[in-house]
Amino acid sequence: MTSSSSSTTTSNNTTPGGPSLMETLFQRTVDDLIKGIRLHNPGSAQSSFISKSLDEIRREIKSTDLATKSIAVNKLTYLHSLHNIDISFAAFHAVELTSSPIFNFKKIGYLAASLSFSPSTDVILLLTNQLRKDLTSANVHDVSLALECISAICTVDIARDLTPDVFNLMTSSKNIVKKKAIACLLKVFSQFPDAVRVCFKRLVENLEKNDDQMLAATVGVFCELCSKEPRAYLPLAPEFYRILVECRNNWVLIKVLKIFEKLAKLEPRLAKKVVEPICDVMKRSEAKSLVFECVRTIVSSFYEYEFAVKLAVGKIREFLLESDLNLRYLGLQGLLIVGQHHLWAVLENKEIVIKSLSDVDRNIKVEALRLVMSMVSEDNVVEICRVLIGYALKSDPEFCNEILRSMLLTCSRNVYEIVNDFDWYVSLLGEMARIPHCQNGEEIEYQLIDIGMRVKDVRPELVRVGRDLLIDPALLGNPFIHRILSAAAWVSGEYVRFSRNPSEIMEALFQPRTNLLPPSIRVVYIHSAFKVLSFCLGTFLLPNKDANSSFSNLVDMEPGFTYSESEQEFTETEHGANSSSLHKKDMFTRESIANLLTLVITSLTPLADSHDVEIQERVRNLLGLALLAQQEISSHHEQKEKRIDWVGLKTYILIRLVNGALSEEFGPISSSAQERVPVPDGLVLEENLSKLDSICADVQLPISEKFSLVRPTYLPTDGDSLSSRQNEDESETSPAESTSLLAEHRKRHGLFYLPSDNNKNASTSFLPANDPDHIDKDVEDLVKLTEESLVLKRKPNQARPRPVVVKLDEGDRHPTIAVKKIESNDDLISGAVRDVLLGNEPLSQSNQLGKPSGRKKGKAHAKVDQGSELKDNTENSETGNSGKRRSKHRSHGKEKKHSDSGNNVEGREENGKEKSGGRHGRHKAKQSGGGIDVVDQKQVIPDFLL
C-alpha cells in the first residue's frame, strides 16, 4: 500500500517533485500490481484501479532513485504488454535505465524499450550510443541484452551505425554472443541491405561449423532469407545438402527442408539428388515434426517421384489414425497438399475424411471439408452436395455456413464448369436458402441472377424456385435471406413468361408480411410487380401477333402453355369459349384482370406517400398503370356480349410500348466494359453541372438524419409532419433572405421532398423461420452413401446436352489489376547476396569493416571459379556449343581481373533482370566484371551435386 506523502521532505533520495521517503519504502511492486488487478472484476472497477496505478507510477518514475524508477518502468511494461497501455511518456526513463551499471536495472530498461519503442519514438536515437557501448562490453549478459534489443527495435539508422559492431561479434569466442549476433543479422539485413556486403561471407562460413547452436542460428537466418527471394541462394545448395546428409539435429533439418522446398522449384535438377536423403530421414526419424516436414516437402516440391509420394502417403495415413487431434490435423493438411497432384491418395482415405466432418475439433472439420471439395468433379458433384447438405443441417451455425460457402464457390468456379444439370443446381440454391442458419444470402443472390442471365434453358426452373421462396411468409422474418428474396423477386418478374400462374406471383409480392423487408428489397418487389402486371395486361389486351412480337422468347414456354396461333382462337378465347387445351391466354379473363388490378391498387395505395424516394417513384409508376387499366377495362364492362376493340385504348398503347421495352433481355456484362466505351467528341461531362449553381443558389440543404434517399431513419410519430419539421429546422438555421428561394426550389423540385402525410410504423413482429427436420443419419450411413460417388469414373452419357452458358472474354467478376512493381529491401538484399557469392562486391566495403584475409578471399574466388568450370564441363557434354561457352567464360575471367569496383552498380542492375537477349545482354555482362552470368543461377551449382 502507498501512504500519503508528507508536506516536507528532508531525504537526500528525493526531490521536491518526486516521491517522499515513505512512498519509496512502501512502493507497490509488480506482484502487488498484478494481485490488485486480479482482485478487481473486469470492467469499470478494474479500469479505475489501473488508472489510479498509472497516477502512482507517473509520480514514482520522476524519482532520482534508480531502484524506484526501475520498479515503475517494470510496472509500465507489464501494463503495456497485457492491457495495451500507452507508455510513450516513459521512453526517456527507459533509456536512462539502460545506461545503469546494475544489470537488473539495465535489463528492465532494455525490456521496456524492446516492447514499446517504434521507429517514430523520438528518443530512440539516444539509445544508439548505449547499444554500441554494451556491444563492446566484456560482460556477456550486457552484450546479449543489446543484441536482443536491436533485433526488436532495429531501424535504418541503428542498423547502419551498429553493423561493424555486430560484424565483430560474429567472431566472438563466446558461443552465446556469436549465436545471438548471427540471429540479429536478419533484422539488420532487412533494414540496411548494404550490410549484406559486409557480413554475408562470414555468415556463410558458419554453415561449415559443427556446433549445433551456431548451425541452427545460421540455417534459421538463411531459411527466412530464402522465403523472400530464394533464387539468390542457389549457389549455397551444396552446403545445405551436406547439412541434410550429415546433421542429426531435428530443428536444423526442418529448416534445411524448408530451404530445399524453395530451391527445388527454381532448380529441378536438385530433386534427383535430394529426394533420397529426405526419404531416408523420413524413415529413420522418430520425431513427428521432422517426419511431417519431410512429407510436406515431398508432396509439395518432389511430387513427380512416385516412390517418395507413396512413402509420404503412408506416413500421412499414420497421422490420420493417431488419437492426437494435432497429428490428425497435420495428416489432413498433408493429404490436402498431395491431393493437388495425386487424387488417388485422397480417394484411398475418403472414409477417414468423411468421418472427420463430424469431429469435435473445428479445424479438423474445416480441413476435411476442403479435402471433400477437392474431390468434386462433374460426375460426383450431385452426390457430394447431397452429403454436405445433410452435414450442414445438423452442424453448428459457423460450420454450416462454411459448408455452404465452400459448395457455392466450388460449383461456381470457372463459370459453373462442373455443373451439367442447372435445374438441379438452381433447386440446390433454393434449398440452401431454407437452411435455418444460412448466412450466404449475398452469394446466393448473385448466382441466382447470374445463372438466369447466362443460361436460358434453366429459366423455367428458376422461376419455379423463385415462386416457392416468395410465397413462403415465414422466410420474410429471416434477415439473412432478404438478399435471396430480392433475387427471387427479380427473376420472377424478369422471366414471368415462364410462370404457370403469374397472378400467384403477384399475390406473393404483395402479401402483408412484406412490410418486414428493408426498403432496398421492397423496391425490387415493386419493380417486379410492375413487370408481372405488364405481362398480364399484355397477354390479355394485345393480339396474338403483337404479343409474339413483344415477347420474342415466348416460344421457350414449357409444353402445354403456348399462345394461340390464329386470330380466330384469340377471339374465341376472349369470348370465354372452351378450348381443348389450356393456353396462357385462358388464365386472364376480364374478371381475373380486374381482381389483379384491385390487388395492386389496394396494396400500393398506402405506399404512395412513402418516405423512401425509390419506393415512392416505383409505386406511383405502378399505380398509374393500374388505375388507367382499371378505368378503361371497367368502362367496357357493359360491352362484354360483343367483341371489344382494345386497339384504340390508352392502356393498349402504353402496354405495347412497355412490353416492347421489357422484351430486351439482360445479359452478363464484363467488369471492364465501361472502360471500352469511347467518350463522344465534343462531350464535356461537367458542363451541365454548372446549372446547379443557378438552381440551388445559396440554399444549404440541412445535414440531418431525417432525410435519406435510401433508408430513412426518421418516421414521424406525432401530429407534426416530417416536412413541417424540416421547414422549422431550416427556418431556424437559414437566413431570412434564403426562405423565398427555398420555397421556390421546393415548388420547382417538389418530387425530391418528402410528403407531409403521416405513416405509422408497420409492425415488425415476425414468426421464426421454418425449422426443417434435422437429418438423423449416422456417419457410417453417409460414408456408405459416398463410397460410389467419390470414386473417379468415366463420364456417363447424358440424356440431354449441357445447356449453353454465356461466357465473357474476361471471365470472372474480379479482374486482376496490373500493379507496377516497386523495388523493395528484399530485392536489394538478393542483389547484394548475388554480388557477394559471385565475388563482385566492392573491395573497399569488405576491407573497411570485416577486413577478410587474402587467403579466405582467394579461397572463395577459387570455389566459385571451380563451380563455374564444372558447370562448363556439364554444358560441354550436353550441347554442341561448348567451345563458344568456354571461350566466353575465359574472356569473362580475364576481364574480371581488370574490373574495378565502380562497375558494381551496372552489375547489380543487370543481375536483377531475369532475361537478357542478344549482343546487348552479353555486353552488359562483360561490363559488370563478373566471371559468371548471374542471370542463369544454375551455372553456379557444382555438378557433383546435380
Any idea which residue has 566484371 for its cell?
A: 929
Q: Determine how many CB atoms are found less than 10 A away from the CB of residue 684.
A: 9
DSSP code of residue 7: S
pLDDT value for 312 = 93
Confidence of residue 928 (pLDDT cuts 50, 70, 90): very low
pLDDT at residue 112 tops 50? yes
Lookup: cell for 781: 450411413
Query: Which parts of 61-126 fold into alpha helices (H)?
Result: 66-83, 91-98, 103-116
- Asked if residue 241 lies in contact with residue 842, where contact means CB atoms within 8 angstroms, the answer is no
- Asked if residue 206 lies in contact with residue 908, where contact means CB atoms within 8 angstroms, the answer is no
DSSP code of residue 175: H
Confidence of residue 578 (pLDDT cuts 50, 70, 90): very low
Distance, CA of 388 to CA of 423 (rounded, Å) = 19
pLDDT value for 677 = 83
Confidence of residue 903 (pLDDT cuts 50, 70, 90): very low
What is the number of H-type helices and E-type strands within the chain?
44, 0
HEC profile of 264-300 = HHHCCCHHHHHHHHHHHHHHHCCCHHHHHHHHHHHHH
Among 84-98, 564-578, 678-692, top mean pLDDT goes to 84-98
Domain edge (last residue) among 302, 334, 368: 302
Q: What number of CA atoms fall less than 13 Å from residue 73's CA on the CB side? A: 32
Query: Which parts of 61-205 fold into alpha helices (H)?
Result: 66-83, 91-98, 103-116, 127-135, 140-153, 156-169, 175-191, 196-205
Q: What is the CA radius of gyration of the chain?
A: 39
pLDDT in tens, 327-344: 999 999 999 999 888 888
Q: What string of DSSP letters covers 641-656? A: TS----TTSHHHHHHH
3-class secondary structure, 170: coil
Q: What is the pTM of this model?
A: 0.64
Q: Would you say residue 3 lies in a domain?
A: no
Distance, CA of 290 to CA of 197 (rounded, Å) = 34
From the centroid of its chain, how far is CA 375? Answer: 23
Residue range(s) defining the domain that contains residue 602: 503-543+588-637+645-664
Quick one: average pLDDT of 273-286? 92
pLDDT value for 695 = 65
Higher-pLDDT residue of 157 and 863 is: 157
Distance, CA of 142 to CA of 133 (rounded, Å) = 9
Quick one: average pLDDT of 119-142? 91
Q: Would you say residue 282 lies in a domain?
A: yes
Q: Determine how many CB atoms are found less than 10 A away from the CB of residue 360.
A: 7
Lookup: cell for 114: 524492446
Domain edge (last residue) among 302, 321, 352: 302
pLDDT at residue 870 tops 60? no
pLDDT in tens, 605-637: 998 888 889 999 999 989 988 888 888 877 665
How many structural domains is the chain composed of? 2
Lookup: cell for 468: 416457392
pLDDT in tens, 795-816: 444 556 778 887 765 444 444 4
pLDDT in tens, 751-762: 444 444 444 343
Q: What string of DSSP letters covers 453-518? A: HH-GGGHHHHHHHHHHHHH-GGGGG-GGGHHHHHHHHHHHHHTGGG-S-HHHHHHHHT-GGGGGS-
Q: Would you say residue 312 lies in a domain?
A: no
3-class secondary structure, 98: helix
Quick one: average pLDDT of 556-566? 36
Q: Would you say residue 944 lies in a domain?
A: no
Distance, CA of 91 to CA of 116 (rounded, Å) = 8
pLDDT value for 252 = 94
pLDDT in tens, 288-303: 999 999 999 999 888 8
Distance, CA of 785 to CA of 780 (rounded, Å) = 9
Higher-pLDDT residue of 877 and 276 is: 276
pLDDT at residue 594 tops 70? yes
Quick one: average pLDDT of 886-901? 41
pLDDT at residue 771 tops 70? no
Higher-pLDDT residue of 660 and 543 is: 660
Any idea which residue has 412480337 for its cell?
A: 549
Q: Which amino acid is residue 845, in one-letter code?
A: Q
Any idea which residue has 464448369 for its cell?
A: 417
CA nearest to 372, candidates 394, 399, 396:
399
Higher-pLDDT residue of 5 and 382 is: 382
pLDDT value for 742 = 52
pLDDT at residue 432 tops 60? yes
pLDDT value for 883 = 41
How far is residue 292 from each of residues 215, 217, 295, 317, 361, measured CA to CA in Å? 22, 22, 5, 11, 20
pLDDT at residue 428 tops 80? yes
pLDDT value for 804 = 81
Burial classification of residue 639, based on how many CB atoms lie within 10 Å of its CB (0-12 exposed, 13-18 middle, 19 or more buried)? exposed
pLDDT at residue 698 tops 50? yes
CA nearest to 499, candidates 451, 464, 471:
464
Domain edge (last residue) among 302, 318, 349: 302
pLDDT at residue 443 tops 60? yes
CA angle 851, 853, 858 (to 5 degrees): 125
pLDDT value for 8 = 35
Any idea which residue has 516412390 for its cell?
A: 307
From the centroid of its chain, how far is CA 701? Answer: 39
pLDDT value for 188 = 93
The percentage of residues in the chain with a pLDDT greater than 70, rounded to a whole number, is 66
CA angle 834, 835, 838 (to 5 degrees): 80
pLDDT value for 664 = 80
pLDDT value for 239 = 92
Q: Would you say residue 574 lies in a domain?
A: no
- The secondary element (H helix, E strand) that includes residue 927 is helix 918-927
pLDDT value for 749 = 52
Q: Would you say residue 124 lies in a domain?
A: no
Comparing 1-10, 384-393, 699-708, 937-946, the range with the smallest average pLDDT is 1-10
Higher-pLDDT residue of 81 and 774 is: 81
Comparing 179-183, 290-294, 304-308, 924-928, the range with the smallest average pLDDT is 924-928
Distance, CA of 539 to CA of 547 (rounded, Å) = 7
Distance, CA of 697 to CA of 944 (rounded, Å) = 85
pLDDT value for 663 = 82
pLDDT value for 843 = 37
Q: Determine how many CB atoms are found less than 10 A away from the CB of residue 537.
A: 25
pLDDT value for 665 = 80
Distance, CA of 490 to CA of 528 (rounded, Å) = 6
- Mean pLDDT estimate for the chain: 74
Helix axes 325-338, 288-301, angle to 10 degrees: 10
Quick one: average pLDDT of 212-216? 90
pLDDT in tens, 217-272: 999 999 999 988 888 889 899 999 999 999 999 999 999 999 999 998 888 888 88
Higher-pLDDT residue of 197 and 794 is: 197
Ramachandran area for residue 684 (φ above 0: left; ψ -120 to 50: alpha; else beta): beta
pLDDT value for 35 = 92
Q: Which residues contact 557 (CB under 8 A, 6 or more apart)?
A: 497, 498, 584
Distance, CA of 827 to CA of 845 (rounded, Å) = 20
Burial classification of residue 919, based on how many CB atoms lie within 10 Å of its CB (0-12 exposed, 13-18 middle, 19 or more buried)? exposed
Quick one: average pLDDT of 311-320? 93
Query: Which parts of 647-778 fold into alpha helices (H)?
Result: 650-662, 691-696, 722-733, 739-748
pLDDT at residue 128 tops 60? yes
